[in-house]
Amino acid sequence: MNTPLRAMKVADLLPMEADVELRALAREITGHDVAYHRNDAPSITDAEYDALRQRNLAIEDLYPELVRPDSPSKRVGAPAVSGFGKITHARPMLSLGNAFSQQDVADFLARIRRFLGLDADETVQIAAEPKIDGLSVSLRYEGGILQYGATRGDGAQGEDVTPNLLTFDEAQIPRNLPPGVPDVVEIRGEVFMAKSDFAKLNAAQEERGAKIFANPRNAAAGSLRQLDTTITAGRNLRFFAYAWGELSAELASHHDQVLALFKEWGFMINPLTRVCDDLGGVMALYRDIEAGRAGLDYDIDGMVYKVNRLDWQSRLGMVTRSPRWAIAHKFPAEQAQTTINDITVQVGRTGALTPVAELEPVTVGGAVVSRATLHNADEIERLGVRKGDTVIIERSGDVIPKILRVIEEKRANNSDPYKFPEQCPVCESSVMREEGEVAWRCTGGLVCRAQLVERLKHFVSRDAFDIEGIGGKQIERFLDQDLIATPADIFRLVDHRDTIARWDGWGDKSADNLIAAIENRTSIGFDRFLFGLGIRHVGQATAKLLARHYTSFENWHAACVKFAAATGTQERQELVELDSIGDAVADSLAEFFREQHNLDVLEDLHRELNIRDVEPLDTSVSPVAGKTVVFTGSLETMTRSEAKARAESLGAKVAGSVSKKTDYVIAGPGAGSKARKALELGLEVLSEEDWINLINGF
Ligand code: IVH
């Protein structure tokens, strides 16, 4: 999951930095385009995606000479997928710039007035329409007869989905236009699935054990892009017309008049569309429609404002990929109400117990949500949640929804406060909480099956040993069948090759591939090895740092053995001071080395593997070398000390308070006055993910 690389203020970027970032943005945006348009599986929120695009545009504005041939600003969406014929659009299918606030909309209107050189008393009528959350298609009619229909694809070329579109009801997509229409007419609009149809579809899919769609948009896209059109036919897709491509004759002088004609011709026009005269009118409609949004039977993610006069539209023209005469005004995060059916507790790799709210499924922000993390016992207490409670949840397009609050008035009389388990729900070992820690942990270690499974999964995961073909499912099966019990056993699976080959769903080829994949990883960099061990507080960043500090497994092992045996050793002092690793990491390493079974695991692995030394760190090449950074709020993927260590290892200075000298403020949930101060000072505030993306790979 990647989000924007918002390293510095765009205006501060040097050409070289801009060049590097444009390359990274091109790669990243393309990845997201493919995930969204081709695989119907977006991996970041729309807002994050928009931010990436905007940053790309801003950098290109600053350095037009650095615009890349593969720049995302030159295209829309992802190249057409194979399997469907390709259709080159007679006019490109454009995308829209985004507005997120009233100020952005005011700026949009002011830009238009300036561009057209209008007098203050001249009204700019705006046609305002809901932004339908589906996928856009273009329908081409010649001589009044539907010739073909295509998806947007990359904006220039889309997929020929004519057979699929021909399964639509005529009331959605007329096959013929009335007599007298221009010879060539291209109607553009959004194919979407009604929320009610979406709910029915998912219920049926679940019953059949088939794929559950995350939201109506994905369901619509998945349903339209079916090589088997009988599937499309069963999905009851709909279509709102809102734009056009090639026309062999002008239809009218204003946008709303064209839409009225489309309606006469038998297309559906969104009934909430209005013409507004000024910012006040536009904003009032925006608020109205937002208030009624949850009650609509289709998802909308904002409003689209278009200059109503078509002669002005053509004067305004377009900038690279979007028209200057239109803008999308996005809605903020959506909330929903639901009930907590149960509170379950998961046991993680390090034994941490994470409570999870099992929710009555509800659609929010375009996705069905049935679970939400409650993080830890403190969070449960803070929210005061109990089983059976009615709660408000929020999801801003993010993958992880959160519980905002409990509606206490709706609580049943017989409800009891939630009691956090005193025993591990998996292995029944006692649970404990260390001083200063929020998480309760299972004390079972590798005796706890949940911890063992998670540790082994972590061991083979992408950033660790990255063994292709082994994931959670395989690990569980190997464990169940007693083929493995420790990490090093994975490298001895070759002894069980024939057994595995005989399993259902395996066979000789899969078994051989597995063995080859494992053998491929018997030579591994020390940093990956270290991360793969899954030692508490030794995340990817710290593992890299430790690896670069010690450079070899042998050095690290020797140092750890010494400071595990005695406190106050020089080795420990060196570690804590040199890299500002902090006590948490040192304690955790010491604890790890004091357990005989961990030493056995290391010895065993060392025998099986070739652990390659790593190069010591050169801080001068890092993107944050010499910068001052401040962390505020809570961090989710690393501890504060880990974040600090990592930043310092890359040559950054970590400060405790925000000042004009601060370069980056990394703000997590709960960030308060420091983040506010940063905004006041006009500093760049990064999310944890932005930060990770920035330093990733260094
Ligand atoms: S107008 C030249 N109007 O939003 C402008 N687009 O982010 C063409 N969309 O590609 C688009 N509702 O898929 C327009 N009422 C509406 C829309 C709308 C949804 C989608 C469309 C477009 C995307 C741009």
The pLDDT tens digits for 445-460 are 888 999 999 999 999 9
* 318 Cα nearest atom in ligand 1: 2
| C-alpha of residue 247 to centroid of ligand 1, in Å | 18
Q: How far is the CA of 608 from the centre of ligand 1 (A)?
A: 57
Residues 6+ apart with CB under 8 A from 464: 458, 528, 531, 532, 534
What is the spatial distance between Cα 328 and Cα 94, in angstroms, rounded to a whole number? Answer: 12
Mutate to test the pocket of ligand 1, among 96, 247, 330 (most ligand atoms within 8 A of CB): 96
Atom of ligand 1 nearest to the CA of 133: 19
Going from the Cα of 69 to the center of ligand 1, the distance in angstroms, rounded, reads 25
Range 86-330 classified under CATH 3.30.465.10: no
Measured between alpha carbons, how far is 579 from 642 in angstroms, rounded to an integer?
10
Of all protein residues, the one whose alpha carbon is nearest to atom 21 of ligand 1 is 136
Residue 202 near residue 213, CB atoms below 8 Å? yes
Architecture of domain 525-612: Orthogonal Bundle (1.10)
- pLDDT for res 396: 55
What per-residue confidence (pLDDT) applies to 76?
A: 65
Supply the pLDDT for residue 357.
96
pLDDT reading at 399 higher than 50: no
- pLDDT above 80: residue 471: yes
Cα(188) to centroid(ligand 1), Å? 9
Please check whether the domain covering 1-9+19-61+333-443 is classified as CATH 1.20.120.1200: no
Structure tokens that stand for 104 in this block: 């952005």
The closest residue, in CA terms, to atom 6 on ligand 1 is: 131
Which residue is listed with tokens 């949940």? 450
Domain ranges of the chain: 1-9+19-61+333-443, 86-330, 525-612, 628-695
Q: Tell me if 326 CB under 6 Å of ligand 1.
A: yes
- Using the predicted structure, report yes or no on whether residue 681 has a pLDDT greater than 50: yes
Q: Assess contact for 624 and 665: CB atoms under 8 A.
A: no
547 CA from centroid of ligand 1 (Å): 50
Task: Looking at the CA of residue 76, tell me the nearest atom of ligand 1.
Answer: 10
What per-residue confidence (pLDDT) applies to 214?
A: 72
Confidence of residue 229 (pLDDT cuts 50, 70, 90): confident
* pLDDT above 70 coverage of the chain, percent: 94
Distances in Å between the Cα of 388 and the Cα atoms of 168, 339, 343, 373 are 42, 6, 9, 16
What CATH class does 628-695 carry?
A: alpha beta
pLDDT number for residue 33: 76
pLDDT digits (tens, 9 = 90+) for 66-119: 888 778 887 666 665 557 889 999 999 999 999 989 999 999 999 999 999 999
Query: What pLDDT, on a 0 to 100 scale, did the predictor assign at position 4?
Result: 44
Active site members: 131
CB of 131 closer than 6 angstroms to any ligand 1 atom: yes
Q: Does position 49 have pLDDT exceeding 90, yes or no? A: no
Residues in Cβ contact with 351 at an 8 Å cutoff, skipping those fewer than 6 apart: 424, 441, 442, 443, 444, 445, 448, 451
pLDDT for residue 165 = 94
Query: Going edge to edge, which strands form the sheet with 334-347?
Result: 367-373, 353-364, 334-347, 390-395, 402-406
Is residue 551 within 8 A of residue 616, CB to CB? The reply is: yes
Tokens 């017309």 appear where? 241
> Residues near 473 by Cβ (< 8 Å), separated by ≥ 6?
none
Q: Of all helices (H) and strands (E), which one includes residue 644? A: helix 640-649
Residue 514 has pLDDT above 60, yes or no: yes
Pairing relationship of beta strands 238-247 and 184-192 according to DSSP bridges:
antiparallel
The length of the chain is: 698
* CA torsion angle 116 119 122 125 (round to 10): 30
Q: Taking 60 as the threshold, does the pLDDT of residue 257 lie above it? A: yes
C-alpha torsion 83→85→88→89, nearest 10:
-90
Asked if residue 128 has its Cβ within 6 Å of ligand 1, the reply is no
Helix (H) or strand (E) holding 596: helix 596-608
Average pLDDT, the chain: 88
Tokens 């009650």 label which residue?
295
pLDDT > 90: percent of the chain:
54
Split at pLDDT 50, 70, 90, the class of 495 is very high
Question: Are the CB atoms for 649 and 581 separated by under 8 Å?
Answer: no
- Report CA(329)–ligand 1 centroid distance (Å): 11
pLDDT band at 263, cuts 50/70/90?
A: very high
Q: Could you give the 3-state DSSP secondary structure of residue 101?
A: coil
Q: What is the pLDDT of residues 401-417, one digit of tens each?
A: 889 899 999 999 999 99
3-class SS of residue 691: helix
How much is the average pLDDT of 138-146?
Answer: 95
Cβ of 328 less than 6 Å from ligand 1:
yes
Indicate the top mutation candidate among 136, 258, 329 to test ligand 1's pocket, ranked by most ligand atoms within 8 A of CB: 136
Q: Ligand 1: which of 108, 131, 272 to mutate, most ligand atoms within 8 Å of CB?
A: 131
What is the atom index within ligand 1 of the atom nearest the CA of 95?
A: 24
pLDDT above 50 (res 574): yes
pLDDT the model gives residue 688 = 85
pLDDT in tens, 367-385: 788 999 898 899 999 999 9
Cα of 300 vs centre of ligand 1, distance in Å, is 11
Question: Measured over all CA atoms, what is the biggest interatomic distance in the chain, rounded to whole angstroms?
Answer: 93
> Is the beta carbon of 127 within 6 A of some atom in ligand 1?
no
The answer to whether 586 and 559 are in contact (CB under 8 A) is no
- Does residue 95 have its Cβ closer than 6 Å to ligand 1? yes
96 touches ligand 1 (CB under 6 Å):
yes
